[in-house]
């Protein structure tokens, strides 16, 4: 096959109308990345974060090596050179891009190049990542009742119960309960709420908890997790302040429940710090931690520490799809997060790409279509473009 180079890189800011910020809809805006090859094939990705700011990192004209624009660097490249391209991009943006939004931007481009390369080769992306290491995908459904907004804890638990039941009907066998209840509950009440959620999910369901950065002191977190030790809680997410590496280390060394870290971290360098701290579960996001190339690198490193990777995915269907390919190819990824359109009222999550996968018995079949195997919905792109 003759190489078909990238001839265009588009960075397209999409934004749905604002909602209550306490609803934490990270898919209200996204930076859609589309690459096109010389034969007219396209690949898509997305970068998480303020879309206008990330857009600038693509379109800028670089003044010197170390501060180049992403688009100019990728045009003319063969999309199969995935690792080489990523290394070149990291070097060429080193003055501003080593962490944070610079890595978010690279992430969207990396996923788009995987999609394009897969389409050129007529193979699903997970094969570019090394091939299948499992025979199906295992998602967990995130159970998010929304911000408190004047509701009682009883009303919040009622909504959580409704969503857990719906997730089971939709075929999920794994859920994560978000317990962002602000000051509605004491830590003692919280233990009761989590036990109630655990009972609602039932014995057959994997059950995990996201604490929404509830504590600043690791001993406070430990006191709750010790009480949950016998309740079969699979992991504890967002216990302490995100960047409290030492606190996470103290907690991970004592907690009876697996400790997660790093849903906002970027690049393998930051995840190495988490691994050295002894956390059990890394939660990189494919749309901001460095794309599929970096997620595989992070997972390989985690494997040397006996840790697992369960990617964060609270974005559109592009991210949701990319992590399915990641899980297919990665042995130490027991679950992936799935934001479920039926449970989460987010227009760009529900409508940006199609098709949605079928979940049956807690599993999704391995993808078979070339590339990511999804298409943009043109009406959604036009509707939310630049609005």
Is the CB of 37 or the CB of 210 nearer to Mg ion? Answer: 210
Nearer to Mg ion by Cβ, of 244 and 263: the residue is 263
# residues contacting Mg ion (CB under 5 A):
2
DSSP class of residue 387 equals: -
Query: Strands (DSSP E) along 211-250, which ranges?
Result: 235-237
Within residues 250-269, the interface with Mg ion by CB under 5 A covers 263
Pattern 205-234, Mg ion, x by CB under 5 A:
-----x------------------------
Q: Which residues, 126 to 155, sit near Mg ion by CB under 5 A?
A: none
Query: Which lies closer to Mg ion via its Cβ, residue 43 or residue 334?
Result: 334
CB of 337 to Mg ion, least distance (A): 8
* Shortest Å distance, C-beta 210 to Mg ion: 5
Report in angstroms how near the CB of residue 65 gets to Mg ion at its nearest: 37
Identify which of residues 144 and 172 has a Cβ nearer to Mg ion in the complex.
Answer: 144
Q: How far is the CB of 271 from Mg ion (least distance, A)?
A: 16
Beta carbons of 160 and 40 less than 8 angstroms apart: no
- The residue among 34 and 349 lying less far from Mg ion, judged by its C-beta, is 349
Contact between 23 and 146 under an 8 Å Cβ cutoff? The reply is yes
As measured in angstroms, the least distance from the Cβ of 338 to Mg ion is: 13
Shortest distance in whole angstroms from residue 166 CB to Mg ion: 20
Q: Rounded to the nearest 5°, which phi and psi values hold at 317?
A: -65, -15
C-alpha closest to that of 202 among 164, 156, 237, 236: 164
The region, left, alpha or beta by phi > 0 then psi within -120 to 50, assigned to residue 134 is: beta
Give 242 or 385: the residue with its C-beta nearer to Mg ion.
242
* Beta strand segments in the chain, E: 6-15, 29-37, 42-47, 136-137, 139-143, 174-178, 206-210, 235-237, 258-261, 281-282, 308-309, 336-338, 353-354, 364-365, 375-376
Distance, in Å, from the CA atom of 246 to the CA atom of 218, rounded to the nearest integer, reads 9
Residues that bind Mg ion (CB under 5 A): 210, 263
């Amino acid at each position: 096959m003759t190489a078909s180079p990238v001839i265009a890189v588009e960075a397209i800011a999409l934004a749905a109308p604002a909602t209550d910020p306490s609803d934490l809809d990270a898919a209200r805006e996204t930076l859609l990345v589309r690459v096109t090859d010389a034969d007219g094939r396209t690949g898509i990705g997305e970068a998480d974060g303020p879309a206008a700011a990330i857009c600038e990192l693509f379109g800028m004209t670089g003044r010197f090596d170390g501060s180049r624009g992403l688009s100019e660097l990728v045009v003319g490249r063969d999309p199969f050179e995935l690792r080489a391209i990523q290394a070149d991009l990291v070097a060429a943006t080193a003055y501003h891009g080593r962490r944070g939004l610079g890595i978010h931007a690279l992430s969207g481009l990396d996923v788009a190049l995987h999609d394009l390369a897969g389409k050129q080769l007529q193979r699903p992306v997970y094969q570019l990542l090394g091939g299948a290491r499992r025979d199906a995908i295992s998602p967990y459904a995130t159970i998010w009742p929304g911000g408190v907004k004047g509701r009682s804890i009883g009303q919040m638990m009622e909504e959580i119960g409704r969503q857990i039941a719906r997730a089971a009907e939709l075929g999920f066998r794994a859920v994560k309960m978000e317990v962002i209840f602000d000051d509605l509950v004491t830590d003692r009440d919280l233990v009761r709420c989590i036990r109630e959620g655990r009972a609602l999910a039932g014995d057959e369901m994997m059950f995990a908890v996201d604490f929404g950065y509830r504590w600043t002191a690791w001993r406070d977190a430990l006191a709750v997790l010790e009480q949950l030790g016998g309740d079969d809680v699979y992991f504890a997410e967002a216990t302490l302040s995100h960047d409290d590496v030492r606190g996470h280390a103290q907690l991970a060394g004592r907690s009876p429940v697996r400790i997660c870290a790093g849903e906002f971290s970027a690049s393998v360098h930051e995840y190495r710090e988490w691994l050295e701290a002894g956390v059990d579960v890394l939660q990189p996001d494919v749309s901001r931690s460095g794309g599929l190339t970096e997620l595989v690198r992070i997972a390989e490193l985690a494997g040397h520490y006996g840790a697992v990777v369960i990617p964060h995915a609270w974005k559109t269907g592009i991210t949701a799809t990319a992590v399915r390919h990641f899980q297919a190819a990665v042995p130490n990824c027991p679950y992936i997060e799935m934001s479920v359109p039926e449970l989460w009222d987010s227009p760009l999550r529900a409508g940006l790409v199609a098709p949605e996968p079928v979940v049956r018995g807690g599993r999704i079949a391995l993808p078979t279509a070339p590339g990511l195997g999804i298409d943009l919905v043109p009406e959604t792109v036009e509707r939310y473009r630049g609005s």
